[in-house]
């Protein structure tokens, strides 16, 4: 049995708009069923429903944040496991010219084959990691010095070519003098760039028709062609 004073206090708090949880904190542990029985004839204030709604919303956001952090931690652990399992492969790749050449062939098959009509090596991408990898592979596999490579940027009408050049120059470690002057894509006039992270497409060119043909022919052979 609970003292009359405890029951009275609990009922008073309820009439003032306190929730079950809040009342339990002030009155000690009281079963939910007991509180429901005590409060069956008590009318809550007009603001109570809005109060409960706000509390539930705060709880929902808190739970969402906790779940998000948990998922991020689980993903980070999973990615770390993948890195650990493939570290030996990366070490082997760094020291195996054959694997690098194979990687270059696959990369050129996916990204460089779009410019087949061009004589010489040409590959473009909006992804800085792909461009950086391509340049490194050309250096490591075919000993093509970076100084012999050139770049140009394909960009939209509302973008600033100078800013784009500065961005790519830092990423791929090319002097700005090694960037050809280009004009924006006229098809983008009056069409604002929605993706603010888009830095245009960086196209890397250099002499090497024989290398270009070699990469394309080997890629075709790997795909089952003759």
Mean pLDDT by 10 residues, the chain (226 residues): 82 90 84 89 91 94 95 95 90 90 90 70 94 95 94 96 96 95 93 94 92 89 76
Boundary-marking domain end, from 81, 104, 122: 81
- Please check whether residues 61 and 105 belong to one and the same domain: no
- Please check whether residues 211 and 160 belong to one and the same domain: yes
55 in any annotated domain: yes
- Please check whether residues 8 and 73 belong to one and the same domain: yes
Query: What is the three-class DSSP state of 123?
Result: strand
pTM value is 0.68
163 in any annotated domain: yes
Give residue 28's pLDDT: 75
Partners of residue 204 on adjacent β-strands: 123, 151
Give residue 32's pLDDT: 87
90 in any annotated domain: no
- Please check whether residues 156 and 212 belong to one and the same domain: yes
Give residue 116's pLDDT: 62
27 in any annotated domain: yes
- Please check whether residues 119 and 185 belong to one and the same domain: yes
Boundary-marking domain end, from 18, 52, 81: 81
- Please check whether residues 25 and 137 belong to one and the same domain: no
- Please check whether residues 172 and 101 belong to one and the same domain: yes
88 in any annotated domain: no
**Is residue 23 within 8 Å of 14, Cβ to Cβ?**
yes
- Please check whether residues 105 and 196 belong to one and the same domain: yes
- Please check whether residues 104 and 210 belong to one and the same domain: yes
- Please check whether residues 31 and 117 belong to one and the same domain: no
Q: What range defines the domain where residue 42 resides?
A: 4-81
- Please check whether residues 109 and 217 belong to one and the same domain: yes
- Please check whether residues 77 and 99 belong to one and the same domain: no
Boundary-marking domain end, from 29, 51, 81: 81
56 in any annotated domain: yes
Give residue 113's pLDDT: 60
In this structure, which long-range contacts are made by residues 12-19, counting pairs with CB atoms below 8 Å and at least 24 apart in sequence?
14/38, 14/39, 14/42, 14/44, 15/42, 15/43, 15/44, 15/45, 16/45, 17/44, 17/45, 17/47, 17/48, 17/51, 19/51, 19/52, 19/55
87 in any annotated domain: no
Give residue 67's pLDDT: 95
Domain total of the chain: 2
Give residue 82's pLDDT: 93
């Amino acid at each position: 049995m609970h003292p009359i004073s405890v029951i009275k206090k609990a009922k008073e708090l309820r009439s003032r708009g306190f929730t079950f949880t809040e009342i339990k904190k002030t009155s000690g542990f009281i079963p939910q069923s007991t509180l429901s029985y005590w409060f069956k004839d008590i009318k809550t204030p007009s603001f109570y429903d809005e109060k409960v709604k706000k509390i539930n919303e705060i709880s929902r956001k808190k739970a969402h944040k906790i779940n998000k952090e948990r998922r991020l931690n689980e993903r980070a652990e999973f990615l770390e496991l993948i890195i650990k399992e493939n570290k030996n492969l990366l070490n082997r790749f760094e020291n195996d010219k054959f694997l690098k050449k194979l990687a270059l062939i696959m990369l050129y098959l996916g990204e460089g084959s779009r410019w087949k009509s061009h004589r010489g090596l040409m590959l473009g991408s909006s992804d800085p990691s792909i461009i950086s990898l391509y340049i490194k592979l050309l250096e490591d596999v075919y000993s093509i010095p970076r100084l012999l490579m050139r770049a140009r940027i394909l960009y939209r009408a509302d973008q600033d070519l100078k800013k784009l050049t500065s961005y790519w120059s830092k990423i791929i470690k090319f002097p700005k003098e090694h960037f050809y002057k280009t004009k924006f894509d006229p098809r983008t006039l009056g069409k604002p760039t929605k993706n603010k992270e888009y830095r245009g497409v960086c196209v890397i060119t250099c002499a090497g028709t024989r290398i270009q043909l070699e990469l394309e022919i080997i890629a075709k052979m790997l795909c089952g062609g003759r």
